[in-house]
Each structure stands twice: as C-alpha cells, then as structure tokens.
C-alpha cells in the first residue's frame, strides 16, 4: 500500500543578498511532496526561462517525501518579477510563487517613511501631553493649577498619602 499524495511547500529566495544588477541565483525550494514526480519551471515577467536553470534533482527526505531545488541564474533589474511554477499530482492547481526585484533605494524610502511616521506619532503624543498638562484647567474646586502643587491637590482630592 502506498501513502496518499502530499502537497509540496514552495519557497523562493535569492541565494545571496546582493544589490540589483549583480549576478545572483534565485532558488525555488520545493519540499515535502509525494509522489516524486514534480515539474518546476521559472518565469521572468511572464515569459518562461530555460537558460540558466540548474536543478539539484530529486532528493528523498527519508519519510516517503521528496525535495528539489531549482535555481535560476539572474542579473535582476528593478521591477522585474520572477515566478517559480510548480506542478504536482497532489495539486488541483499549480503553485506559483513570485519574487520581485526591488531596488535598495525603494526599500530605503519605505523604511524612511515608516521611521518618519513613528517619529511624527511620538512628537504628536508628546505635544498632546504637554498641551493637556499646560492648558487644560483643573476643576474650579482646586485652589491652584500650578504643576508643583498638583500632587498635593490630588492627594487631598483622592486621599493619597504623600511621602
């Protein structure tokens, strides 16, 4: 008796973290599938890539499942979309995992925007705190609104012992 078919897990990643326009390998890792027949193809901007494709071949995992890594030699340009397309008997529809070539400057712009947003929220919070402490008046039954006397006023109002 043979085990039931097992769907593959597919991940795509660059072999090395390098800037765009430098030689690199994109790795399509297909892991944990059964039976061992699988078809893996690479696409660049919707067109199938056949040149520069290298495969490890089918590797048994020891638990009846298999894995394979199919690499594509690339010199990625900004805006390009690479896709690993996997067909396997266990799948109703093929799995396609994309990797987008992203320029370092666009990553830096995104991180700068996030940092500026966080900094802006921090200053907004500090400004609101300052405004509330400085300009919001205390109820009229408090004899004074000076900040130095506030602990004494609050201790009288809420019966908080002062040390």
Give domain status of residue 163, yes or no: no
Residues 92, 30, single domain; the answer is: yes
User: Among residues of the chain, what percentage have pLDDT more than 90?
Assistant: 46
pLDDT digits (tens, 9 = 90+) for 133-146: 776 655 555 555 55
End of a domain among 76, 102, 128? 102
Residue 48 has pLDDT above 70, yes or no: yes
Residues 83, 119, single domain; the answer is: no
Give domain status of residue 3, yes or no: no
Residues 98, 110, single domain; the answer is: no
- The C-alpha atoms of residue 88 and residue 146 are separated, in whole angstroms, by 75
Give domain status of residue 147, yes or no: yes
Give domain status of residue 143, yes or no: yes
User: Locate tokens 């500090």: which residue?
Assistant: 126
pLDDT of residue 81: 93
Residue 147 has pLDDT above 70, yes or no: no
Residue 66 has pLDDT above 70, yes or no: yes
Closest by CA position to 72, among listed 84, 90, 81: 84
Residues 50, 116, single domain; the answer is: no
**Where residue 54 sits, what CATH number does that domain have?**
2.60.40.10
| Pairing between β-strand 47-49 and β-strand 39-44 as defined by DSSP bridges | antiparallel
Q: Structural domain of residue 23, as residue ranges?
A: 9-102
SS percent in the chain: helix, strand, coil, step 5: 25, 35, 40
Burial call 73-105: b when 16+ CB within 10 Å, e when fewer: ebebeeeeebbbbbebeeeeeebebebebeeee
Average pLDDT value over all residues in the chain: 82
Residues 76, 110, single domain; the answer is: no
pLDDT of residue 15: 87
Residues 148, 79, single domain; the answer is: no
Neighbours of 21 (CB within 10 A): 12
What's the number of domains the chain is made of?
2
pLDDT digits (tens, 9 = 90+) for 90-120: 999 999 999 998 766 555 667 778 888 888 8
Please compute the mean of the pLDDT values over residues 26-49 and round it to a whole number. Answer: 95
Residues 87, 21, single domain; the answer is: yes
End of a domain among 65, 80, 102? 102
User: Locate tokens 């008796």: which residue?
Assistant: 1
Please compute the mean of the pLDDT values over residues 9-15 and round it to a whole number. Answer: 94
């Amino acid at each position: 008796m043979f085990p039931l078919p097992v769907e593959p897990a597919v991940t795509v990643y660059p072999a090395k973290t390098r800037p765009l326009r430098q030689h690199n390998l994109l790795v399509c890792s297909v892991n944990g599938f059964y039976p061992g027949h699988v078809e893996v193809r690479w696409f660049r901007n919707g067109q199938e890539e056949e040149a520069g494709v290298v495969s490890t071949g089918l590797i048994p995992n020891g638990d009846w499942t298999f894995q394979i890594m199919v690499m594509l030699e690339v010199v990625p340009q900004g805006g390009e979309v690479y896709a690993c397309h996997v067909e396997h008997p266990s799948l109703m529809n093929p799995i396609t995992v994309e990797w987008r070539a992203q320029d370092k400057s666009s990553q830096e712009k995104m991180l700068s925007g996030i940092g500026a947003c966080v900094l802006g929220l921090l200053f907004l919070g500090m400004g609101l705190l300052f405004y509330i402490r400085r300009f919001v008046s205390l109820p009229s039954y408090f004899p004074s609104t000076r900040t130095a006397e506030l602990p004494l006023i609050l201790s009288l109002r809420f019966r908080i012992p002062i040390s």
